[in-house]
Structure 1
């Protein structure tokens, strides 16, 4: 089933007596295919004596995708790339209501290992066995969605990300070439936050406008990961205004190599970029794309998961804004 998730996590008190979300957490349902058998990874937590998915509470300064990746790393020692979003679950805790957001995560080579503190045992098992072992009934909801995606051939995916560059110095105070307008101090901090958020999907390629504010936004991630970089003139504001069809062609080319990729461009080019992506998704997902100016805030990211079996169909859309101090 196509899915959309939002990056917003703020929760206001309810006036109707409903519980208020007081705890936010995130995790992943890790899966693999071994000897032609589909398996998922369960963890056993000695503190609670239960079987669950790797997950944990959000830390200050994190987004929920970052939390999910960090918790899997800390609890079972694996670096993961997030796949399709799975259902968010809720259950009561002493302080109110806990919300846990989940993603699918395919495991290819990494061998998990319990940290010996929060997790004392691991188990790869079939979805049927997992459904029997899971201690919290709500944990079966992401498992059911994972199975549904597998049956619909929509579980194996690769991420295509669209990034609006971080906050630049005002046009009104810049007298030199527009392409040389740099990031503001806030934008430099946002670029570091963009790096941390992008690590949840680890794009191997970066396609960016050559203008300084786009390159500077992506530089911390590129330096951290060694991702391959391609600068494309068609992604600049000026070239998009003259020839938007060339900008659209750049978006089409992102599907050619069938591998994780991030595109960084400017606000005026976003309507063209989003419209082109919309051609690759269902009407339901297309309706969830932003349609009003400014489309994305500085540094904000849209994450599309592309079906790896046809490399042309987008099966989920998410939108996240990096932590902004």
Structure 2
């Protein structure tokens, strides 16, 4: 059983931009670390609701942010920001947050889908704050052919890509998830097709441990060994790179039946990032 935690609406100030967020604090003081949880395209910070109790029970603070162009910043940024601009905004927000909150050992990046892309941009961008590790789900390298037309994640035939078989999710998930949805800002959407080239540029500048998780029924990405090896081999400066495959899961992992399994593995990875004795390795692990 997880221990009680406190979670509240929170505002992040980032170089003149106000970002809405959820801040969850553990009962341990100070927190072991602060996890920056970054939602995917067309979602909101509450995507991480099922992760928060497990993380706080393990002694971590969780800062689940509405990315620039979503939530409170949507009116100020009606066209949104590019992924690189979002990373710069998040760096500014984290710097301000660290000024007023104890962040423990530092910030750990946890991103889903397009939020994973922003997390990669954030990890590859120089900042004044320590970053512990980078953990993404549903963020690949080369798109699967069926995703080449990049339908909107809120419609346009993307249901199969985003969810996979519907029995992977608890009853009521799709009704409840309506409250998580938000329009995708156009500047963000316009970058989708450029992601493979962006990743190739970013990957060599990531200098923290990396974990990549892909659902069994992930449909957005090529997941063959050749493509995944090409992806991990570009992370040349990351001390470690791990690839995890999650059975019985669809793209929106944190909303499915296997969410707890994924979240526990994510927290176990964070534990390794907090352990100085963990040996560095360059061999990706395919589970």
Fold shared, TM-score > 0.5 on shorter chain: no
TM-score (structure 1 length as normaliser): 0.29
Higher strand share: 1
Could you say which structure has the larger radius of gyration?
Answer: 1
TM-score (structure 2 length as normaliser): 0.31
